[in-house]
Amino acid sequence: MNGKPRKWFRFRIATMLALFGVLFCALVFRAFHLQIMTGKTYKTLAERQHKKALQLFPERGIIYDRNGEKLAASILADSVFADPSKIDDVGEAAAQLAAVTGQPKKAIAQQLAKSKNFCWIARMITPAQAEQVKNLKLEGVYLIQEPKRFYPNRELAGQVLGFVGMDSNGLEGLEMRYDGYLRGEPEKILWGRDARGKKLYMPERSATGKKDEQLSLVLTLDSRIQHAVESNLKEAVLRTRARGGFIIVMDPRTGEILAMANNPAFNPNAYAGAAADHKRNRAITDCFDPGSTFKPFLVAAALEEGVVKETDRFNCENGAYRVANATFHEANRKRHGVLTVREILKYSSNIGSVKISEKLGREKFHRYIKNFGFGQKTNIELPGEIPGLLRPWQNWTQVDTSTVAFGQGISVTAIQLVSALSAIANDGVLMQPHIVKKFVDANGETVREFTPTPVRRVISAETARRMTAMLTNVVGEQGGTGKNAALVNVDVAGKTGTAQKFDFALKRFSSERVRTSFMGFFPSESPRFVMLVSIDEPQLHKWGGEAAAPVFRSISQQLIRCFEPDIGETPPVQEKEIDTGARIRLVSTPAAIPAAGAAAEDEESVMPDFRGMTVRQALRAAQDKGLAITVTGSGWAVSQKPAPGTPLKGHRSCTVSFSTGD
């Protein structure tokens, strides 16, 4: 009997040990499963319960003008967000937040109701509003600072700069074109919570990418010129009761855009309330018939091909000339008899232009139009550029060739027109227009710099000089259509234009709706500035010489006052190859200063050449060399003693004679 209890007891012990062994193995397996096999999953779930993350973008790179003035920067602004799961009374919270932020109470309540753990209440509020939100002390409502784009000059170059959305993404203009460079890497904002969801610590930033990775832009724009251009354009639009207008100022030697203005103006600080039409950069997005501003390119092509000379005479038919089934008239019903090519440009004769196009021929004319850059994008670094409209020459009728000769039946953009004129000003070489000078990093170090880029030679330097002389007559001679653009003591080369707009309802060109323009460059002998002024649908002064030419003159006078020491200076040049394979002489940006002891030392040891300089330029050049200078007369330097190239040893002074050439 004693053996049975012992066996039963041993069986019980063995069973319990086996059961404990199974339970222990199950516990070990469960721990292994939780910690090893599914550890990452549960860790992620735990972090979701106790930590929240919000992705924000850092401050964008700055946009500067060529002189270092900030055109676009970022400032920190407070934004309000909420965790609806921690708000007990959604209606009361919505009412209090609506009273402070100005947002509709209903919209806030709906946002809180449909969101689980996160929703924005108001973005980028004022400091005063942020202080009021803080004083509400609402559970589940928080403030966070995020960068807000700020344009300190308001409307200045607004359409060129573009604007930035709430999530730091560029939406128009340069902000959109270079968004990837300006935007930088996003950051995460983290905060912890306990089991009841209460905040354990204030938000802290945790970078997900490299810091300071965004770049800043330095533009070719000069804010002083831009301001002068915009002010004059605004005044002209008001004076003529026009629909709007645009102006571009370009350096013909480098292709740099110094100013690009549109009217109506646009303030990117208030982009949300602006009309969509005002945000558009019309200087690159709109095409139009150029009218008589197109005539110089016809004459340049005819001169280059040798089919006409400046002195060739054409019968302008006393104001009426029939081609095929169309009769052409002069603008403003003027009547001209026999005119030379020079006079055809000076008086802007439509019939004379038609007869020149007949001698040139449609195929050659079309080729030069393309070579001047029309019918194709200039590829300036701005979004939205269009190529204009240029039909194949094979589709031109005889009448089409005639109308294109005086700028109808072809559509161009403002940037094309100013670039083409710059080719004439730049000895016949078309330059790539550009508006971005370089990229710089957070330390101001240059990352990439854009250099002047020649596109092609369009006409010879000789033809360009002949065209310059004729265009100078348009402005400077009695009876020229551009006389209202003339400057005192500075020669201007230019051309007026008045283009009728096509009325699609009536299917004909309108006599009431016109675009008036003036394009020109100065000084004629050494062009520094090329400018196009275009006024859209003026109600008063409906001719280019009346509406646009005075604007050109006013802006040019301001430029001369600002840059007088540099007007007429010859910039450093360098040889570059262009795609035709011919070597040409092109203006470039100033070269780096040679190191001490380099070959430049020879140039320092001889008397500089002051001839052709103004008094101010000569004084400045002498000061740079450490020379004493004696000035006689006024105007431009015509002679000097000692002569240029004389060794400076023993000669630390120079007498320079000046004359106005009268």
Instruction: List, in order, residues 6 or more apart from 160 with CB less than 8 Å away.
Output: 173, 174, 221, 260, 281, 382, 435
| Distance (Å, whole) CA 7 – CA 47 | 54
| 199 vs 44: CA distance, rounded Å | 19
Rounded Cα–Cα distance for residues 418 and 412 (Å): 10
Distance CA 125, CA 203 (A): 19
Pick the closest to residue 174 from 182, 166, 186 (CA basis). 182
Closest CA to 403 of 366, 353, 368: 353
Compute CA distances 31 → 40, 43, 49, 508, whole Å. Answer: 13, 14, 21, 86
Task: For residue 422, indicate whether it is catalytic.
Answer: no
Q: How many residues does the chain have?
A: 662
Here the tokens at position 406 are: 């005086």
Q: Buried (b) or exposed (e) across 255-266, using 16+ Cβ within 10 A?
A: bbbbbbbbbbbb
The separation between the first and the last C-alpha atoms of the chain, rounded to the nearest angstrom, is 150
Which parts of 519-654 fold into alpha helices (H)? 544-547, 549-563, 600-604, 615-625
Put residue 11 in one of left, alpha, beta given phi > 0 → left and psi -120 to 50 → alpha.
Answer: alpha
Q: How far apart are CA 155 and CA 151, in angstroms?
A: 8
Given the structure tokens 């330029």, which residue do they identify?
A: 617
Measured distance CA(109)–CA(92) in Å, rounded: 9
CB 135 within 8 A of CB 80: no
Q: How far is residue 526's CA from residue 427's CA, in Å, rounded to a whole number?
A: 10
Q: Map tokens 């039409």 to a residue.
A: 277
Rounded Cα gap, residues 78 and 127, in angstroms: 7
Out of 292, 348, 517, 524, pick the active-site residue: 292
**Spatial distance between the Cα atoms of 142 and 651, rounded to a whole number of angstroms:** 76
* Six-digit token string for 81: 């967000």
Residue pair 392/369 in contact by the 8 Å Cβ criterion? no
CA distances from 408 to 290, 352, 359, 532, 571 (A): 7, 15, 19, 18, 37
Separation between Cα atoms, residue 176 and residue 164, nearest integer Å? 8
CB of 574 closer than 8 Å to CB of 586: yes
For the chain, what is the radius of gyration of the CA atoms? 36
**Residue 282 burial by Cβ neighbours in a 10 Å radius (0-12, 13-18, 19+):** buried
Tokens of 442: 């957070």
Asked if 347 and 481 touch (Cβ cutoff 8 Å), the reply is: yes
What would the two tokens of residue 364 be? 């050659």
Q: Which residues are catalytic?
A: 292
